[in-house]
Amino acid sequence: MQLAKNLYNYRELLKSNVKKEIRGKYKGSFLGVLWSFVNPLLQVAVYAIVFPYIMRVQTDNYLIYLIIGIIPWTFFTTVINQGMITVRMNAGIIKKVYFPREILPISVALSGLVNFLISCIIILLFCIFGGVGLSWHLIFLPIIAIIQFILTLGIVFALSAINIYIKDTEYLIAFVINMLFYATPILYEATLFPEKIRWILYLNPMTQLIDAYRNIFLYHQVPDLNGFIYLVLVAVILFFLGLFIFRKLEKGFAEEV
Amino acid sequence: MSTKKEYAIKVDHVTKKFKIYYDKANTLKEQLVFWKSKSKVEERTVLDNINLEIKKGETVALVGTNGSGKSTLLKLMTKIIYPTKGKIITVGKLTSLLELGAGFHDDFTGRENIYFNASIFGLTKSEIDDKVDDIIAFSELGEFIDNPVRTYSSGMYMRLAFSVAINVNAEILLIDEILAVGDQHFQDKCFEKLEKLKHSDKTIVIVSHSLDSIRKLCDRAIWIKDGHIKMDGEANLVIDKYLEECK
């Protein structure tokens, strides 16, 4: 409740902060904002060359399969990486002015969401020209994107606050994210694993998310209901847990940062 | 019925302690390695059990020597830091001028910074649109308003920051040692503006060492010494006593 009220009262600050996040990141570079789209594409290019030819992966439509994995993953990691340090980066104003501190992580997550939705155009283009086509299942896209937003925001709430007290968080999380990349079926298919242990892969909410994206973009299917329920549960729990940690720790920001 | 709304700021049994780290353990390793050597942390009580009520419409000055805790009290009122014990209740929209130009971006123009700074104070776009001309006029920056802030002189910077903060129309205004803004002409103007605000129903709390302006501006002064309230009363009376002790 408090959260909604704060956000409403400070909506102008939120808006200008989101704008700053989107524009500020690539400030001074020649391509500017375009980098947030070029970057994942370059990454896709690397994997699309390496995996089919060197590792002999034989997935149908592997390029599109990859893109649908990489772009949501980029959304996830950029928000975590930028969000984790956002409180520390804004130490200057935190020490001098009062404003609802949660604006900072929320701005990062929102700018990530905006970037992601724009990036979806790339996925759509690949689907259209890659021969996969589109279907009505795309109406699920905003719902899945919002679930990912809530889930990531919850993690960022917690990490941005903890990082003020324990600076190691940043380095530890960078490692965890790297690991998680390989623990998520982005480059490979989940069916690579024997059915007995495959469920472990599906405990990872990112697996569920990317599965859902692939269902609606690539396989023209309704997302798996059980997976979907699991996702919503995890997202809501992480969100409130993260907010709780943030609320506990935010009172010391001005002194500790 | 109105007893509840009479005060603008209520400081209720507030104690603030700061931890003084001589060598702060910032990383996990340091925290693990040094977790037993607690001797490195010292607690300092900056404010000790303060009780205070500032009524709506009052103009109050906090006086005291350096390090007496008056700025800490002001920071507690703005909710930048939080009390160790006790609580602080404020009623109404609050603006603080603890440090001028907090949140200014050097590469943005003066006008853009007005929007950004005012949004930190919680204003919406349309509210700022209404005020932006007043703010620019008050700052007397003229055509410089569309130049990047980094090209400003320190005086111009201060004038812009002060103009934003004073025009956001908050019900409570907290000011820390910034009455000396700009040249004589601008100082007089700020003073006039504060006088005007004083006679509206705004609540103003000022921390300052320029006792003469306090005498003119404030009806009440609170003298803080070593984290305690030493004296609280009519401004001239308190300042006389304070000066006596300073000798």
Chain B contacts of A13, Cβ < 8 Å?
Answer: 119-120, 122
Q: Using the beta-carbon criterion (under 8 Å), do B122 and A95 form an inter-chain contact?
A: no
B87: Cβ contacts below 8 Å, ≥ 6 apart: B12, B13, B14
CA closest to A98 among chain B residues: B80
- Cβ of residue B108 closer than 8 Å to a chain A Cβ: no
CA distance A161 to B160: 33
Residues A105-134, mean pLDDT to the nearest whole number? 92
Q: What is the pLDDT of residue A181?
A: 94
Confidence of residue A83 (pLDDT cuts 50, 70, 90): very high
- Cβ of residue B186 closer than 8 Å to a chain A Cβ: no
Q: What is the pLDDT of residue B3?
A: 47
Three-class DSSP category at B228: strand
How many C-beta neighbours within 10 Å does residue B152 have? 20
Q: Using the beta-carbon criterion (under 8 Å), do B122 and A97 form an inter-chain contact?
A: no
Which residue(s) pair with B94 in the sheet?
B172
A46: Cβ contacts below 8 Å, ≥ 6 apart: none
In chain B, what are the domains?
A: 2-246 (3.40.50.300)
Phi first, then psi, for residue B69 (nearest 5°) are 110, 5
CA distance B237 to A70: 71
Q: What is the pLDDT of residue B178?
A: 65
Q: What is the pLDDT of residue A114?
A: 92
Question: What is the CA angle B120-B114-B78, rounded to 5?
Answer: 30
Q: Using the beta-carbon criterion (under 8 Å), do A98 and B78 form an inter-chain contact?
A: yes
Q: Using the beta-carbon criterion (under 8 Å), do B119 and A94 form an inter-chain contact?
A: no
Q: Using the beta-carbon criterion (under 8 Å), do A96 and B99 form an inter-chain contact?
A: yes
Chain A contacts of B120, Cβ < 8 Å?
Answer: 13, 93, 97, 99
The answer to whether residue A112 scores a pLDDT higher than 90 is yes
Q: What is the pLDDT of residue B40?
A: 65
Closest partner CB to A255 (pick from B81, B103, B115)? B81
Closest partner CB to B120 (pick from A97, A168, A255)? A97
| Token pair in block for residue B130 | 């209404």
Three-class DSSP category at A147: helix
User: How distant, in Å, are the alpha carbons of A74, A176, A203, B95 from that of A236?
Assistant: 21, 22, 15, 35
Closest partner CB to B119 (pick from A16, A94, A166)? A16
pLDDT tens for A149-204 read: 999 999 999 999 999 998 889 999 999 999 999 999 998 888 888 888 888 899 99
Confidence of residue A144 (pLDDT cuts 50, 70, 90): very high
- Cβ of residue B78 closer than 8 Å to a chain A Cβ: yes
Q: Using the beta-carbon criterion (under 8 Å), do B75 and A254 form an inter-chain contact?
A: yes
Q: What is the pLDDT of residue B1?
A: 39
Which residue(s) pair with B111 in the sheet?
none
Chain A contacts of B124, Cβ < 8 Å?
Answer: 11-12
Residues A221-249, mean pLDDT to the nearest whole number? 95
Contact B104, B117 (CB under 8 A): yes
pLDDT tens for A205-227 read: 999 999 999 999 999 999 999 99
The one-digit pLDDT tens for each residue of chain B (247 residues) are 344 558 889 998 899 988 877 766 667 777 677 666 555 677 888 898 899 899 888 899 998 888 888 888 988 998 899 999 999 998 888 888 777 666 787 778 889 889 888 888 888 889 899 999 999 998 888 899 999 888 988 888 888 888 888 888 888 888 887 666 667 888 888 888 888 888 888 899 988 888 888 888 888 999 998 888 888 988 889 989 888 888 7
Confidence of residue A81 (pLDDT cuts 50, 70, 90): very high
